[in-house]
């Protein structure tokens, strides 16, 4: 998968191949394990609070920015980590419906991975109108879907053809809630996860071979919206990506930690996320 228009800043730690004794129990296949921790290098900015100026009764008076969640040791939660070039995916494609909820004027979850075969459903859990608008997060800024949901409990299933060409969707609300932001990352195989609160990821049953291990993070820096009353979204920096090569031997475990480095202020290439 290629995620376009992204600045690459990368510092990768050395791979440590664990001894065979650390291998998975034999499950009848020769798959290995790739695991690691994603960390951030640098001191991130303190993310601003967004003041709510519409539907305060439902939304609350202010919102925290969900762009960066860190654990101890500079660990980064909710980075997307995936293995490219695995064609022998031994896990069946899911038919699951994955729900992106609008709840108290926030998207839940803030970021989700959509696996092959899965369908996206948008739900309004609030007693006010939301208008969910998704753009392809690349230079085209293609509008992928744009749906008004004025009624609490309203559900909209997104046709798989709509999201087919996209790698990442940037989702925002056109109904006067410019702080609302979510990302939908479209996985090309099942070897794609979000890091947990300790920045950890883990893939089991990886077919032996050499792969590109990649990470994606939405970006850290943000400037609060200056025109909230006009519904202007915050200005955010572009996502980060990093990659490295991993070689998986039959029934072996590979530790592959990854680190991405914050851009300096002079390197920030900000972009408005919801305006094509």
Residues that bind Cu ion (CB under 5 A): 130, 173, 175, 177
Q: Which residue is nearest to Cu ion (CB)?
A: 173
Encode 233-247 in three state secondary structure: CCEEECCEEEEEEEE
CB of 163 to Cu ion, least distance (A): 20
Q: Which is nearer to Cu ion, 175 or 259 (CB)?
A: 175
Residue 199 CA to residue 234 CA, distance in Å, equals 26
Q: Which is nearer to Cu ion, 103 or 204 (CB)?
A: 103
CB of 18 to Cu ion, least distance (A): 47
Cα 169 off chain centre by? 9
CB of 250 to Cu ion, least distance (A): 50
Q: Which is nearer to Cu ion, 241 or 274 (CB)?
A: 274
CB of 174 to Cu ion, least distance (A): 8
Q: What are the residues facing 222 on neighbouring strands? A: 236
Residue 242 CA to residue 9 CA, distance in Å, equals 7
Residue 187 CA to residue 195 CA, distance in Å, equals 14
Structure tokens at 35: 């695991």
Q: Which is nearer to Cu ion, 52 or 173 (CB)?
A: 173
Q: Name the region of 251 (left: φ>0; alpha: ψ -120 to 50; beta: rest).
A: left
CB of 112 to Cu ion, least distance (A): 18
Residue 105 CA to residue 126 CA, distance in Å, equals 7
Q: Which is nearer to Cu ion, 173 or 246 (CB)?
A: 173
CB of 97 to Cu ion, least distance (A): 21
Structure tokens at 55: 């539907």
Q: Which is nearer to Cu ion, 86 or 100 (CB)?
A: 100
């Amino acid at each position: 998968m290629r995620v376009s228009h992204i600045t690459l800043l990368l510092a990768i730690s050395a791979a440590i191949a664990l001894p065979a004794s650390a291998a998975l129990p034999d499950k009848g296949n020769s798959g290995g394990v790739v695991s690691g921790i994603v960390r951030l290098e640098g001191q991130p900015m303190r993310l601003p609070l967004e003041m709510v100026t519409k539907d305060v009764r439902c939304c609350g008076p202010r919102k925290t920015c969900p762009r960066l969640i860190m654990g101890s040791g500079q660990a980064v939660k909710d980075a997307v980590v995936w293995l490219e070039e695995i064609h022998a995916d031994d896990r069946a494609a899911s038919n699951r419906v994955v729900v992106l909820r609008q709840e108290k004027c926030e998207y839940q979850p803030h970021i989700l991975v959509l696996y092959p075969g899965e369908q996206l459903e948008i739900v309004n859990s609030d007693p006010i109108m939301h208008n969910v608008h998704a753009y392809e997060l690349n230079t085209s800024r293609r509008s992928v879907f744009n749906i008004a949901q004025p009624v609490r409990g309203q559900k909209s299933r997104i046709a798989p053809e709509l999201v087919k060409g996209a790698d990442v969707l940037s989702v925002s609300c056109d109904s006067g809630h410019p702080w609302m932001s979510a990302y939908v990352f479209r996985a090309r195989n099942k070897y794609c996860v979000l890091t947990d609160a300790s920045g950890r990821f883990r893939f089991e049953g990886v077919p032996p071979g050499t792969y590109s291990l990649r990470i994606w993070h939405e970006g850290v820096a943000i400037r609060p919206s200056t025109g909230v009353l006009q519904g202007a979204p915050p200005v955010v920096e572009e996502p980060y990506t990093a990659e490295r090569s991993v070689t998986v031997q039959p029934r072996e475990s590979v530790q592959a930690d990854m680190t991405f480095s914050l851009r300096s202020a002079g390197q920030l290439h900000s972009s408005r996320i919801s305006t094509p």
